[in-house]
Structure 1
Amino acid sequence: MTIKISQSDYYQSMGQSYHLSKNSSIDKTDIICQYPQELGKGYYREIQLREGLELAIENNQLHDDLIVECPERQHLLEFTFQISGSSSDKFVYANAGEYYFYGSGIAPHEQCQTSSKHQNLIVNVHVEPELFCCFIGENKSDIQKQLSYLVRNDNQEYYYCSKGKTTAQMQVALQQILQCPYEKITKKIFLESKILELMALLIEQTQQPKLTKTCSQKFNSEDLERLHYAKEILQRGFENPPSLIELAHQVGLNDYKLKLGFREVFQTTVFGYLQDYRMELAKRLLAERTISVQQVARKVGYAHAGYFSAAFKRKYGVNPKLYQKNHILSA
């Protein structure tokens, strides 16, 4: 069974236990909310480290899968580590040992789902873009050039990073956060230092210059941002993607530069990238075993299940029905 709830109702249900916990908390900036009994067991801990910087630790075992309906909204910079369990939103499905990273800007309407199969332990950080710029210590124009994909205007859609593997260094910092032995001001200094460490490790993995070291000098920083935007459009509209010409027009590049950019930046063609994204999504849907192969085919944009099966077998060397069956046997 899956429970669906609006974001406002979700916060309201959490807020009922928030007031109870706040009264008994020694540190008013460190609040623990017990999970509503109708949803499951566990807690949500929120630590305000400074104005514009918030650490949240969520530890729960849900009775049923939970979907929170989130409206279009202004979004801060956010990075989330899935330590155990699994969760997903419009763009990312994260298992234990994975992270996802978002920049600031406008977040679209989406459904955020948390699984009830396992206990969920999540560490989440929200950072105001102004504070992030202060942390970086550069002037605004330099940040716009180097990290424009993370700090966007209020009217721009936010940057999102597909999930990544939590590295050994990240795991150490996360365990230090969870087992923090300090109190009051020492605790805040310690936790903030660990968050900055995680932020540095994430940026190192996701920044555009690293992804494009071998990229042709024909592409400037604006071109690179347009290419990443094209990738986002393909991911969000994979069921009914635009043509190459339409995509080039949407991101403000000519079709030649778009094709060349995908080859040099993402090491694939535009169609190849879209195909890989569809196949990865199909593999995840098949492994979940909640819908048929035919339904999976439709969800990833194939009108005919036969074409989907052939494409899946070319990619993974096994037909989708057998892949799904093997996951049922091993579940």
Structure 2
Amino acid sequence: MTIILTDTSWNELWQKTSDRSKDFETSDRGKIPNVCNTYDWQVELRSGLTLSIHEVELTEDIVWTRDRWDDSQFGLSFFLSGKVRIERYSLTDETDESVGKYYSECNCNFKETEWWKAGEKFSRIYLKIEPQQFFQSFGEQELEQIPIYLRQAVIGDRVQPYYQQREITQQMWMVLSNILKCPYQGLMKRMYLESQTMELIAFHFQQCQEQDIGDRHFPTKNLSDIDRIYQAKEILLKNLESPPCLIDLARQVGLNEFKLKRGFRKVFGTSAFKYLHDYRLEQARQLLALGDMNVEEVALKIGFDSRSYFASSFRKKFGLNPKQYFQHCQKSL
């Protein structure tokens, strides 16, 4: 049996079963009957930096729709066991998050769906970074050495969606092991975990710098080009009904077509028009759920001239055709 969860239903189940303890660190352990055993532990190590460990062992397959994100949340997530399939709507195609990999991200209020399989134990170490607080003591030259998606949030207070997956290196594995086997308690534990966490972040930044140097075709250190990629995204989203073609879009933002295509995929993990396609469908889903427009009106609103193509695309992404989804939402009201 597959269980459908939302953030709200998960929190309701969790509140009934969790056993919480709290000192300078917080831990929650619980068993949700016929769903999972779960353990969550976290500690704020310094202003703008939180370390957490998550473990889940499922007894049933789960499809989890998540839509409650913190606008300013950046993070690094290291997968220690298990595999989860995830789609971040309007940000990435479906991706596997599995042992041996880690990702850097900015959630930025993007919705996602996760597919979890029963019988697997999923565990990860997650670092939450709040850029304005974490980097407040860094000088201008130091900030030039951090990844562009973080630098934009610090210097310009700009929060942009971002996701990139990488391999966990041998150096990272050693630090992750040290975190799990921390031999200290109290103040010494906090100091030790902060030092190990900072080392993980340093290794991540090193990988980013090495990629910048190795990628000659797309100069990620050039803030002007990055800004143009984000500008291209904004132009697409502001013109859902009649977006420009790729050549015109490239001309509007001052890039050649090849550079725009390569840059968009590098920044957002997918092509410009796959990004637009997924964004349109997510907007359609939200409009249908509101119930103020019928299916044809929604299709036109988001730029689908063909109702049949809209219906097939919607069904492929969400498992129901638009009319079925509309009727389902009306019954739930």
Alignment TM class, shorter chain as reference: 0.5 to 0.7
Deviation at 1:94, TM superposition (A): 1.1
Three-state SS of the structure 2 residue aligned to 1:206 is helix
Match of 1:60 among 43, 49, 56: 56
The answer (yes or no) to whether the contact 1:79–1:99 under 8 Å persists in 2 is yes
Deviates more, 1:189-198 or 1:141-150: 141-150
The answer (yes or no) to whether the contact 1:21–1:31 under 8 Å persists in 2 is yes
Identify if the C-alpha distance between structure 1 residues 229 and 70 changes in structure 2 by more than 3 Å, giving closer, same or farther: farther
Distance in 2 (CA, whole Å) between partners of 1:111 and 1:53 is: 26
Match of 2:45 among 40, 46, 49: 49
The residue type paired with residue 149 of structure 1 is Y
Distance in 2 (CA, whole Å) between partners of 1:126 and 1:226 is: 28
The residue type paired with residue 128 of structure 1 is E
Distance in 2 (CA, whole Å) between partners of 1:64 and 1:188 is: 36
Q: In the alignment, what sits opposite 2:29?
A: 33
Distance in 1 (CA, whole Å) between partners of 2:220 and 2:166 is: 29
Three-state SS of the structure 2 residue aligned to 1:107 is coil
Match of 1:70 among 45, 66, 71: 66
The answer (yes or no) to whether the contact 1:85–1:95 under 8 Å persists in 2 is yes
Distance in 2 (CA, whole Å) between partners of 1:143 and 1:42 is: 38
Identify if the C-alpha distance between structure 1 residues 253 and 76 changes in structure 2 by more than 3 Å, giving closer, same or farther: same
The residue type paired with residue 200 of structure 1 is A
Unaligned runs of 5+ in 1: 235-240, 279-294, 301-331
Identify if the C-alpha distance between structure 1 residues 159 and 217 changes in structure 2 by more than 3 Å, giving closer, same or farther: closer
Deviation at 1:166, TM superposition (A): 0.9
Unaligned runs of 5+ in 2: 237-242, 276-311, 318-333
Distance in 2 (CA, whole Å) between partners of 1:144 and 1:209 is: 15
Q: In the alignment, what sits opposite 2:78?
A: 81
Identify if the C-alpha distance between structure 1 residues 148 and 72 changes in structure 2 by more than 3 Å, giving closer, same or farther: farther
Distance in 1 (CA, whole Å) between partners of 2:259 and 2:129 is: 35
Deviation at 1:199, TM superposition (A): 0.9
Three-state SS of the structure 2 residue aligned to 1:59 is strand
Distance in 2 (CA, whole Å) between partners of 1:228 and 1:212 is: 23
Q: In the alignment, what sits opposite 2:296?
A: none
Three-state SS of the structure 2 residue aligned to 1:120 is strand
Q: State yes or no: 1:106 paired with 2:108.
A: yes
Identify if the C-alpha distance between structure 1 residues 220 and 126 changes in structure 2 by more than 3 Å, giving closer, same or farther: closer
Distance in 2 (CA, whole Å) between partners of 1:233 and 1:149 is: 20
Distance in 2 (CA, whole Å) between partners of 1:154 and 1:72 is: 21
Q: In the alignment, what sits opposite 1:160?
A: 163
The residue type paired with residue 195 of structure 1 is T
Q: State yes or no: 1:200 paired with 2:197.
A: no
The residue type paired with residue 143 of structure 1 is L
Deviation at 1:255, TM superposition (A): 5.0
Three-state SS of the structure 2 residue aligned to 1:4 is strand
The residue type paired with residue 49 of structure 1 is L
Q: In the alignment, what sits opposite 2:329?
A: none
**Larger RCO, structures 1/2 (Cα 8 Å, 6+ apart):** 2
Deviation at 1:101, TM superposition (A): 0.6
The answer (yes or no) to whether the contact 1:85–1:117 under 8 Å persists in 2 is no
Distance in 2 (CA, whole Å) between partners of 1:70 and 1:31 is: 22
Identify if the C-alpha distance between structure 1 residues 180 and 253 changes in structure 2 by more than 3 Å, giving closer, same or farther: same
Deviation at 1:174, TM superposition (A): 0.7
Identify if the C-alpha distance between structure 1 residues 207 and 233 changes in structure 2 by more than 3 Å, giving closer, same or farther: farther
Three-state SS of the structure 2 residue aligned to 1:11 is helix
Deviation at 1:222, TM superposition (A): 1.5
The answer (yes or no) to whether the contact 2:34–2:60 under 8 Å persists in 1 is no
Deviates more, 1:151-160 or 1:40-49: 151-160
CA deviation string 1:266-306 (max 9, x = no partner): 9x99xxx859x99xxxxxxxxxxxxxxxx99x969xxxxxx
Identify if the C-alpha distance between structure 1 residues 117 and 228 changes in structure 2 by more than 3 Å, giving closer, same or farther: farther
Distance in 1 (CA, whole Å) between partners of 2:124 and 2:100 is: 10
The residue type paired with residue 35 of structure 2 is L
The residue type paired with residue 204 of structure 1 is Q
Q: In the alignment, what sits opposite 2:20?
A: 21
Deviation at 1:203, TM superposition (A): 1.9
How many correspondences in the alignment?
Answer: 260
CA deviation string 1:161-217 (max 9, x = no partner): 1x2111111111111111111111111111111111111111222359725653488
Give the percent of matched residue pairs that are identical in Structure 1 and Structure 2.
Answer: 25
Q: In the alignment, what sits opposite 2:97?
A: 94
Could you list the structure 1 runs, at least 4 aligned residues long, displaced by more than 6 angstroms after superposition.
216-219, 228-234
Identify if the C-alpha distance between structure 1 residues 110 and 13 changes in structure 2 by more than 3 Å, giving closer, same or farther: same
Identify if the C-alpha distance between structure 1 residues 145 and 86 changes in structure 2 by more than 3 Å, giving closer, same or farther: same
